[in-house]
Amino acid sequence: MNPDSDQASLHSISLTDLTKMSGLPMTIVSAVVQCDDLAGLHYLPLDEVETNEIGRRIKKILMDNTVEKAGADAQHRWQLGWQEILERVRLGGISENTLLPQYFKHDILRLYGGYIRATTLDFEKRIFRLLKAILFFNYFTNISHVIEFGCGTGANLLQLHKMFPEMKLTGCDWVQPSLELIGQINQETGSNIQPINFNMFTLDGNENINITNSTAVVTFAAMEQLGDKFGPFLDMLISNRPAVCIHLEPIIEFYDTTLEFDLDAVNYHNKRNYLSGFLNKLHNYEKIGDIEIIQSHRSSFGSTFQEAYSIIVWRPL
């Protein structure tokens, strides 16, 4: 695309877009999102030539036997990754930028069934933050305690603390640097987030987790690491009966494999061994009356190769 056509085709994220992405009413979205939140969220749709280039990149990844896969044996990678963030925080203090995970680095993103080029590298991070804020505002009216499983750098818990300063918060992760990051957040912000060492595969640490009927459970691109081994964790949640469970995860069932755009995401998803069968399992539990699915929504937004921001909200019955 030439510069003249770039300017002509520049798009901006609006409240309507966030309503589509979140699957929640405009009244909710407009109560949370301010004009300043949308400033600079501009993008350009990719043309056919650029789209084909992304397709070639995906095919190379699918043929690459060195691509890292999710799973129980990947714990050491998260240990190293969150240790890197911890060292950054020790040097620069707690902030949204120092807590930012390393994988927020793309300007080529997925939106509404096509590829886009964001005009800034913080585009994905900002949309993710807005989606979380909208969901928190909508679902946490009567919640006194939120537990995040796979809390990583603690950035999501810090966002929750800023929105609900009096809310009890717990962060669970399977590597020590994550728990130390929560300690740093508590020290610098005055929050009192409880860190718990918990393994979503083995459920080790479950005895330290207290879930009541006013507790909400959240996961953000954390269950994706479970592949098809999510069963014990899901059953644990159902048996503990939280008020609500909210997941922003890559949900493979939402893709339409008759479309090349979606099929590429499915193939990438499977290559990485990401979450598989979760939504179907929830539907099965709903049919037998164990749970209620409150929201099941494809945001149609994601990073280059997949959509990690599909929204699932459910509660045990």
Helix axes 231-240, 278-287, angle to 10 degrees: 40
Q: What percent of the chain has pLDDT over 70?
A: 97
Q: How far is CA 52 from the centre of its chain?
A: 27
Strand bridging mode 145-149 / 215-220: parallel
pLDDT at residue number 6: 52
Helix (H, G, I), strand (E, B) or coil at 155: helix
pLDDT at residue number 7: 53
- pLDDT tens string, the chain, 317 residues long: the values are 444 445 558 999 999 999 999 999 999 999 999 999 999 999 999 999 999 999 999 999 999 999 999 999 999 999 999 999 999 999 999 999 999 998 888 899 999 999 999 999 999 999 999 999 999 999 999 999 999 999 999 999 999 999 999 999 999 999 999 999 999 999 999 999 999 999 999 999 999 999 999 999 999 999 999 999 999 999 999 999 999 999 999 999 999 999 999 999 999 999 999 999 999 999 999 999 999 999 999 999 999 999 999 999 999 99
pLDDT at residue number 195: 98
Among 308, 307, 316, smallest CA distance to 114 is for: 307
For residue range 165-208, list pLDDT tens digits in order. 999 999 999 999 999 999 999 999 999 999 999 999 999 999 99
Copy the structure tokens of residue 18.
């966030």
Q: How far is CA 290 from the centre of its chain?
A: 25
Q: How far is CA 282 from the centre of its chain?
A: 18
Domain boundaries, the chain: 71-106+131-316
Find out whether 153 and 99 touch, Cβ atoms under 8 Å.
yes
Between CA 84 and CA 106 the distance in angstroms is 19
For residue range 202-254, list pLDDT tens digits in order. 999 999 999 999 999 999 999 999 999 999 999 999 999 999 999 999 999 99
Q: Residue 117 pairs with which residues in a beta bridge?
A: 44, 108
Q: Which fold has domain 71-106+131-316?
A: Rossmann fold (3.40.50)
Produce one character per residue of 207-221: b if its CB has 16 or more CB atoms within 10 Å, e if not: eebebeeebbbbbbb
Among 175, 271, 274, 178, smallest CA distance to 223 is for: 274
**Which amino acid type is present at position 104?**
F
**Which amino acid type is present at position 63?**
M
pLDDT at residue number 1: 43
Between CA 311 and CA 32 the distance in angstroms is 18
Find out whether 223 and 199 touch, Cβ atoms under 8 Å.
no
DSSP 254: G
Average pLDDT, the chain: 96
pLDDT at residue number 138: 98
